[in-house]
Amino acid sequence: MTVARQVSMADVARRAGVSMATASRALNNAAGVAEATRTRVFRAAEELSYVVSPEASSLARGATQRVAVVVPHISRWFFAGLLEGLEAVLRDAGLDLLLYHVGDMEDRREFFDRLPARRKVDAVVVLAFPVDEEEQRRFQLMGVDIVAAGGQHATYPYVCIDDEMAGRQAMGHLVHLGHERIAMIAAVDPDQPVSLQQGRSSAYYSSLHDAGLAVDDDLVVTVNWGGPEGALAMDRLLGLRRPPTAVYAHSDEVALGAMRSLRRAGLSVPGDVSVVGIDDHPVAELVDLTTVRQPVEQQGEIAGEMVVGLLRGEVVQRSVTVPTQLVVRSTTAPPRRAGPRA
């Protein structure tokens, strides 16, 4: 077995008996090539298993046909889902996807400092993290299109859900069941600005307000994102003199952690306390968790379409918000002592 020699377009042109220019035009399906010629060129290319050199092509053309994707977490379900949707549409559009993981603040500083994607891509999509002003200035240096997914953005086109709405769907469900002592476990990502969970938080307060329920500060605990952290938060809530009858968690992972604490404390869900999350993580279905579903892959796809549109020079929507939906399963029920309100 031996490695095939790199076949160049010159070889193809020669074999097809045309000039390189014609070969190039034919291969690129450009106008102005006789059908017969085109066929001949394609056959020649086929026979030689010719593949363009993307480097040479990019160099000559000035576009890379690549897009960078910047993510704060790769293996967290939400981000992986966005990535999956994004990859699919980029691939269909013939664009390659360069992955950059920017985990903690240091990674992040370095990324914007060195701008490793510079000159390597035609566009970049940032997944679910806010880009501050200074960082925007750096991006500017790259001179490429930018789109954001999984969160709102003031400067770039973006796709996201309405977090406040999602939160209200979750809270509304709890309120509707008759709960009056509802706790919130708010989750923040230690390496990202706080803004992310703002919508989900304010939904708590506005829902309570709308229902005429008082806010009890003891009932809201803020932790870092993650299941184990959710468990810790629940432990704290369980230590209260008057524990909640329901808890609204900012995410399913957090909710799952809370459920573990409940289970370990010998409490039943939803008998003793109801739990609702947000996301509809695949696991939610397996633990029968009531939650609010957000379409994750779809958000990735839409972001992908935005990128593709931008690169084609089209005008794209400045933002699209995809709908969320309450999914009632078995972790929520009316509180013990009070029936559902009238």
Residues that bind a copy of itself (CB under 8 A): 1, 3-4, 6, 49, 51-56, 58-59, 64, 66, 74-77, 80-81, 83-84, 87-88, 91, 96-101, 115-116, 118-120, 137, 140-141, 143, 227-228, 231, 253, 256-257, 259-260, 263-264, 282-283, 285-288, 297
CA distances from 334 to 207, 262, 326 (A): 17, 17, 16
Structure tokens that stand for 261 in this block: 């604490």
Task: Tell me if residue 31 falls in helix, strand or coil.
Answer: coil
Give the nearest distance from C-beta 241 to a copy of itself in angstroms: 27
- Binding positions for DNA, rule: CB under 7 A: 6, 8-10, 17-22, 24-25, 27-28, 30-34, 36-37, 50, 52-53, 55-57, 59-62
Give the nearest distance from C-beta 118 to DNA in angstroms: 11
Give the nearest distance from C-beta 37 to DNA in angstroms: 3
Q: Which does 327 bind (CB under 5 to 8 A by kind): DNA, a copy of itself, none?
A: none
Q: Which does 81 bind (CB under 5 to 8 A by kind): a copy of itself, DNA, none?
A: a copy of itself
Give the nearest distance from C-beta 127 to a copy of itself in angstroms: 12
Which residues does 75 contact at the CB level (< 8 Å), separation at least 6? none
Of the two residues 132 and 210, which places its CB atom closer to a copy of itself in the complex? 132
Give the nearest distance from C-beta 95 to DNA in angstroms: 15
Of the two residues 75 and 242, which places its CB atom closer to a copy of itself in the complex? 75
Instruction: Give yes or no for a contact between 296 and 78, defined as CB atoms under 8 angstroms apart.
Output: yes
Here the contacts of 142-150 (C-beta below 8 Å, separation 24 or greater) are: 142/115, 142/117, 142/118, 145/307, 145/310, 145/311, 147/123, 147/303, 147/306, 147/307, 147/310, 147/316, 148/303, 149/82, 149/86, 149/125, 149/299, 149/300, 149/302, 149/303, 150/78, 150/79, 150/82, 150/299
Of the two residues 2 and 29, which places its CB atom closer to DNA in the complex? 29
Give the chain's count of helices (H) and strands (E).
13, 12
Of the two residues 132 and 288, which places its CB atom closer to a copy of itself in the complex? 288
- Identify whether 270 is preceded by a cis peptide bond (ω within 30 of 0): yes
Give the nearest distance from C-beta 112 to a copy of itself in angstroms: 13
